[in-house]
Structure 1
Amino acid sequence: MDYQTIIEPFRIHSVEPIPMTTVAERSDAIRDAHYNLFQLPARKVMIDLLTDSGTGAMSRDQWAAIQHGDESYAGSPSWEIFESAVHDLFGCAHIIPTHQGRAAERILFALLGGPSKIVPANTHFDTTRANVEYTGAKAIDLLCSEGLDPELDAPFKGNIDVAALANLLEHNASDVPAVVLTITNNSGGGQPVSMANIRATSELCRRFDVPLYLDSCRFAENAWFIRQREPGYATKSVTEIVHEMYSWADGMTMSAKKDPMANIGGWLATNDELLAERARTMLILTEGFPTYGGLAGRDLEAIAQGLQEAVSHDYLQYRIASTGYLGNALDAMGFPVVRPSGGHAIYLDARRLLPQIPPLEYPGQALAVALYELGGIRGCEIGTVMFGRAPDGSEHPSALELVRLAIPRRTYTQSHIDYVVEVCENVLQVAPSLRGYRITKEPPTLRHFTAQFEPLAH
């Protein structure tokens, strides 16, 4: 029978309290945080959808694996379990563990980047772009045209524009140390990349002798979308699809805080032996010994177990369906969202919702603040605040003005999501009265984490 109710494929074993706050308390809290959601104390947030990174609930078996962790400094059995799990799923020859994904990015681009270098991607996420640009290299986004239209309901809006990449490589291949595909495409609305696009990108890269790296945080969700939407994959297992995805890549970066369902961890993996040797040297300098890389043995074992759970069909069906439930409910009420729904998050389209606020007055920030004040929901602006500042300090509107509601894995229940829907309905009613913001203080890079704002007068 085809039942419509989405049930979580797990039971709740342990709970933690949610702080229940009032509008007045939240208004004071966001003012004290200088209207930056990243600066809010978590104890003043009711539903925390700021990120799905490290915020999920680990399973009974992951907690058991933590108890099994061996903390030997070098050559721990926990390292062997971790290395085997990563190698078996992704097939990469050399695995370099790090304390989280951005450490893997830092090592990779410190070795590959530099002035005059160009790193193209479907869309670089914030820390990836910052790590590329910190070396003096240029990060270029080559998102497919479908991905630039939030209202278009297309199956693989995370794809890279292969024709644009071919043109770039025809003229600048010697300046391109690597091509990056982010799966799923976080900054582009959590949209998946098709197997055909991965294959075409890989074939193009190999023609020009340029390595392809997959930014892999949400690899399992991307594989599930391929299984659902791409012809020829409906009868394949997620594990089989993952094997094929990575057969086209030369390496990967990973934040284990996303699909591997751990609270910390990551890795850089590559098939390039020389690059791996150089990366291990940098790892020792900045992270730790190559068999732990800034992680405890218990974390390595929790990640290994999480990888097994991440490719479970029951889990992925629930995960994608529950995210889609939120997206469909908002779409039905007329709240502008990026269509179709992503795997890990729903992206609210602040540009369409708040046409009265110009991009340089940060409509995404205005929407994020309103969601918090009215309902205690913490989301994340993904627009001009995050991406509007160039390395030379100039500012420009972002291609999209979004607010991401990232859903932590196995953390919130259906009633929590229904509450989010209600809050969004209230925000929709007051949207015409919302005003923009200006930045009063900002750092030179990654300003969205620590910038301070103040509301503009009507």
Structure 2
Amino acid sequence: MSEQTNTENFFLRLHRLGLIRPFIRFSLRLRKVILQGVHYNTDMVTNQLTYVDFVTDSFKERTLPQHDFQSKSAFEASFISLADTFHQLFGYRYSLPVSQGRSAELILAKVLVKPGMVIPNNLLFISTSYHQTLAGAELIEIPVVEAYDLISDSPFKGNIDTKQLEVVIRKYGKEKIPYVLIETAVNASGGHPVSMENIKNAYNITKEHNIPLILDACRLLDNACLIRQREQGYSHKSLKEIVMEFCSYTDGCVMSASKNYYIDTGGFIATNIEQLFNQFMDVVMVYGDGLSVRAKGKLNTAIKYPFKNERIINDRVNITSYLWKKLEEAGVPVVRPAAACAVFIDTYQLSEYIAPDQFPEKSFLVHLYLKSGILGSENLITTGQGRKGIRMVRFALPLRSYKIRHMNYVAKHIIQAWKERKQIKGLKKTYAAPCQSGQFMAQYQIIE
């Protein structure tokens, strides 16, 4: 086969994966124009204008193939069996499908949170935090101390500090704590998992005080995969067995389905407490769940798929580890140890060359996209991390989207961009809307 034919086939494969659009030539000159058009805010660069998009592992921002059912009755049967499917896979007795994970978080906060309450947690994603704080609660971050140590090789840096949890409960009392919220594969600390032992211990504590333990389960399968790799006694178990046991140590969950399941919309709020479920139902009756019958049918199919085909989760964990190792061997300060769904870089060293008020992380991401067409994102940190000066960038890998050859391309250009960090020019913010979400659409200029 000729070299030209090989090249054509390679680009056709990239196109089928949604990584490039053949009618656009992504030259350096074009990338400069794109960056100028979005005012040097790489969060505003669309997936269609990239070579490799690692901004998020959510399929909400991607175009997926159509999933067709054979008949109208198949739609109806799939919709009706959705609650049963969720119960069989996760064990919760009561569940409600919603449009996305944020809808589930909103319902949870609306039902249980009142001003003046406190919510112990192990580090939460920013949207999850907003729902609790907008409802008037104070978040109390009590992860294990290793969560703040980016170079520690501790295998379960997503764990909650159970000793501190007991202290917080004694200090505030159960009346002031609507629930304890634990996130799996914790994004803020570098995608690190919660161990089975830790969730069990936390559950025993909350049960003793009659406080619900709620799970943010959007990356539960990634967490389960790392438990199987790292925790004694689980290497021989299936993802379903691990997930069922993990969920059994909680009273409910909120979930975005677009991270661990091959679907672009949908999520769940679930519980074992009937009274809570009835309150969730009241909110859904007023505001709706945002999902059509077709969407619920697709969701029913999607959540079953990874349990039947564990390879798609294992493959992402392996390919993430491959990219992490390539960067680590080249001296890039990756957050340790490797996570399941993303590679994180400790960007503390950037501040040696780019002043903190010149947005070092954003400047690095602009430079990387300009040189390579690769998109990453600034990792959103918590209040506690901010006080400790922690900064990171994240490269999140969606399921079933990339191969080893793409990782080699990505590794090569991240390594090169890191070597060029002394040459990177800082950014000046020229506009941001006066609201909490204004930073996501802010505008910048390069400081010459």
> What's the TM-score once normalised by structure 1's chain length?
0.87
The aligned counterpart of 1:6 is none
Q: Which amino acid aligns with 1:260?
A: Y
**Is 1:211 equivalent to 2:208 in the alignment?**
no
2-structure distance, mates of 1:308, 1:455: 47
1:341 aligned onto 2:322: no
3-state secondary structure, aligned to 1:123: coil
**Residue 261 of structure 1 aligns to which amino acid in structure 2?**
Y
- 2:360 pairs with one of 363, 368, 376: 363
Partner of 2:87: 87
Distance in 1 between the 2:104 and 2:436 partners?
19
2:159 and 2:57 mapped to 1: Cα distance? 22
Q: 1:414 maps to what in 2?
A: 404
Q: 2:53 aligns with which of 36, 40, 48?
A: 48
1:451 to 436, 442, 445: 442
Moved more, 200-209 or 40-49: 40-49
1:401 aligns with 2:391: yes
**5+ residue gaps in structure 2?**
1-12
Pick one of 21, 24, 27 that aligns with 2:29.
24
Q: Aligned partners of 2:364 and 2:15: how far apart in 1?
A: 35
Q: CA contact under 8 A between 2:123 and 2:382: conserved in structure 1? A: no
Q: CA 1:382–1:99 in structure 2 vs 1: closer, same or farther (change >3 Å)?
A: same
Query: How far is 1:55 from its partner?
Result: 5.5
SS of equivalent to 2:59: coil
Selected match of 1:315 from 298, 304, 312: 312
2:300 is the counterpart of 1:300: no
Please give the alpha-carbon distance, in whole angstroms, between the structure 2 residues aligned to 1:16 and 1:226: 31
Matched, 1:437 2:434: no
- Aligned to 2:374, which of 356, 377, 383? 377
Name the structure 2 match of 1:39: 44
Output the CA distance in 2 between the equivalents of 1:149 and 1:183: 18
1:209, distance to aligned residue in structure 2 (A): 1.4
Return the offset for 1:158: 0.9
Residues 113/35 of structure 1: CA separation in 2 closer, same or farther (3 Å cut): farther
Call closer, same or farther: CA 1:200–1:45 in 2, change over 3 Å.
same
1:6-44 residue CA offsets vs partner (Å, 9 max, x unmatched): xxxxx9995546044122222222232122222223332
Contact 1:49/1:377 (8 A) holds in 2 = yes
User: Where do 5+ consecutive residues of structure 1 fail to align?
Assistant: 1-10, 288-292
**Would you say the 8 A contact 2:255–2:269 is kept in 1?**
yes
Residues 312 and 399 in structure 2, CA contact (< 8 A), matched pair in contact too: no
Alignment of 1:227-246 (within 5 A): 227-246=228-247
Q: Show CA shifts across 1:308-364 (max 9, x none).
A: 222333233212111100000000111111111111111111113443334444322
What is the rounded CA distance, in whole Å, between the counterparts of 1:71 and 1:13 in structure 2? 31
- Cα distance in 1 between the residues matched to 2:415 and 2:386: 31
Q: Counterpart amino acid of 2:30?
A: E
1:303 is paired with a residue whose SS is helix
* In structure 1, distance between residues paired with 2:72 and 2:407: 35
What secondary structure is seen at the aligned counterpart in 1 of 2:67? helix
Alpha-carbon distance in 1 for matches of 2:404, 2:184? 26
SS of 2:185's equivalent in the other structure is: coil
Deviations 1:214-258 (A, max 9, x none): 100111111111111101111222111111101100000010101
% same residue: 31
Separation (CA, whole Å) in 2 of partners of 1:108 and 1:158: 22
Q: TM-score, normalised by structure 2?
A: 0.89
Alignment of 1:159-198 (within 5 A): 159-173=159-173, 174-198=175-199
C-alpha distance in 1 between matches for 2:407 and 2:71:
35
Describe the shift of the 1:119–1:360 C-alpha distance in structure 2 as closer, same or farther (beyond 3 A).
farther
Distance 2:166 2:411 in 1: 43
Residue 421 of structure 1 deviates from its aligned partner by 0.8
1:63 partner SS: coil
Q: Mean alpha-carbon deviation: is it higher for 134-143 or for 221-230?
A: 134-143
C-alpha distance 441-398 of structure 1, shift in aligned 2 (>3 A): farther
Aligned to 1:428: 418
- 5 Å-filtered alignment, 1:87-126, equals 87-126=87-126
Provide the rounded CA distance (Å) in 2 between the counterparts of 1:112 and 1:338.
Answer: 35
Q: Which residue of 1 aligns with 2:4?
A: none
Greater share of helix: 2
Change in CA separation of 1:438 and 1:164 when aligned onto 2, cut-off 3 Å: farther
The worse-fitting range, judged by mean Cα deviation, of 257-266 and 344-353 is: 344-353
Could you tell which deviates more after superposition, 190-199 or 357-366?
Answer: 357-366
Q: How many residues align?
A: 430
| Cα deviation digits, residues 372-426 of structure 1 (max 9, x gap) | 111111111114xx656x9xxxx96565211111111101222221111111122
Pairwise CA RMSD of aligned residues?
2.6
**Partner residue, 1:290:** none
Cα distance in structure 1, aligned partners of 2:367 and 2:423: 11
Higher deviation after alignment, 354-363 or 239-248 = 354-363
C-alpha separation in 2, matches of 1:125 and 1:276:
24
Give yes or no for contact 1:370–1:427 (8 Å, CA) kept in 2: yes
Aligned to 1:3: none
How far apart, in 2, do the equivalents of 1:176 and 1:451 lie? 35
Deviation at 1:305, TM superposition (A): 2.4
Structure-2 residue corresponding to 1:7? none
Q: Which one-letter code corresponds to 1:270 in the other structure?
A: T
1:8 corresponding residue in structure 2: none
What secondary structure does 2:312 align onto?
helix
In structure 2, the residue corresponding to 1:43 is in which secondary structure?
A: helix
